[in-house]
Amino acid sequence: MPVHDKSLENWIWAAACSIRSPNPAKYKEYILPLIFVKRLSGVYDERVAARNLFDSEATRTT
């Protein structure tokens, strides 16, 4: 049975509404830690890339 675009959209919207809480302050409990971990992961990836670049340049010069 094919799912029509509008019925899929309605199904996704209903799912989002079912997990949404009436109190927006509760989002902070979930969203802020996710943002923090995402930023932490980004900084880690940047530093690893910089370290790898530094190491590869150091081995080329010796």
Cα angle vertex 23, ends 16, 29, to 5°?
85
Number of C-beta neighbours around residue 2 at 10 A: 5
Tokens at 4, concatenated: 């029509």
Cβ–Cβ under 8 Å, residues 1 and 8 = no
Long-range contacts of 47-56 (CB under 8 A, 24+ apart): none
**Average pLDDT rounded to a whole number, residues 1-10:** 71
pLDDT digits (tens, 9 = 90+) for 8-19: 888 888 888 877
Tokens at 28, concatenated: 């902070």
pLDDT digits (tens, 9 = 90+) for 21-54: 667 677 778 888 899 999 999 999 999 999 998 8
Q: pTM for the whole thing?
A: 0.50
Per-residue model confidence (pLDDT) at position 21: 65
Per-residue model confidence (pLDDT) at position 62: 57
